[in-house]
Amino acid sequence: MPATPLVNHDEAMNLGATEEAKIEVGHDDIGCLSHAAGVHLEERVKRELRRHHISERDRLVADTLCEVSFGLGLRSVKIPKLDVIGELTGLPRQHVYTTLKRLHDMRIVSVQPKQGVFLYTINANSESWKVAPRVALATILRGLETIRELNGVREEAIADTSENSAPGDKDQIQLFSVTDSVTVTNEAFPALE
C-alpha cells in the first residue's frame, strides 16, 4: 500500500489533535521493536545519515526522529506539532518544516496524518534514499573492521546477538522501506506565511 503524501502540518492539526502529551509512545498499529532491535536500527540509520550528503540541519532532525522512534522501540512515532520537534532540536518551527520537507523529498522520512497527529517514520533502507552517499558503505565497513581488530572486539558483540535478546529480535532488525511509491506534490507543502 503506498504511503500517503505529506500534507500541511497545520491543516492536519485542525483534525482534533490534543496537546496533552508532547510525544505519544503508542503501541497500537505503529509497530514495536524490541529494545535491542531498536537500538541496533537507530545506530545503523544514524551511520547511514553520516555517510550521505545531507545538511547538518537535516541530520539533526533525522537523528532526533531516530531517537524518539527507534530509540523508544518504535518503527514510527506520533508527534502532535512541529513545535515539539523544534523543542527537541532547538530549531525554529519554520526550519523544522522546511527540513522535514527536504527529508521527505529525499525519502529519508515519511510523514503521514494519523488520528489528528502526525506519524513520522524513518526509512531505514538507505538504498531507496534520493541522496548521494558521501562515502561508499564498503569503505566504512573496512574502517569499522580495522577498529574492531585493533581493539579486539568481535563482530558478534557489535551485532547484539547476546542471549539477552528476546526471541525474534534478529527478525525485527530487517530493513523496511515506506517510501518507494511516495508521490510528493507541490500542494503537499504550501508556502509558510
pLDDT digits (tens, 9 = 90+) for 127-141: 999 999 999 989 988
SS (H, E, C) 120-154: EEECCCHHHCCCCECCCHHHHHHHHHHHHHHHCCC
Identify the pLDDT of residue 54: 96
Identify the pLDDT of residue 35: 80
84-88, 103-107, 139-143, range with the lowest pLDDT: 139-143
pTM equals 0.65
Answer yes or no: is pLDDT of 15 > 70: no
- Higher-confidence residue of 2 and 45: namely 45
Over residues 52-67, mean pLDDT: 96
| Most confident among 8-17, 39-48, 58-67 (mean pLDDT) | 58-67
pLDDT digits (tens, 9 = 90+) for 109-130: 999 998 889 999 999 999 999 9
Q: Which domains does the chain have, with CATH numbers?
A: 9-175 (1.10.10.10)
Residue 148 burial (CB < 10 Å; 0-12/13-18/19+)?
middle
Write out the DSSP string of 76-136.
EEEES-HHHHHHHHT--HHHHHHHHHHHHHTTSEEEEEETTEEEEEE---GGG-SS-BSS-
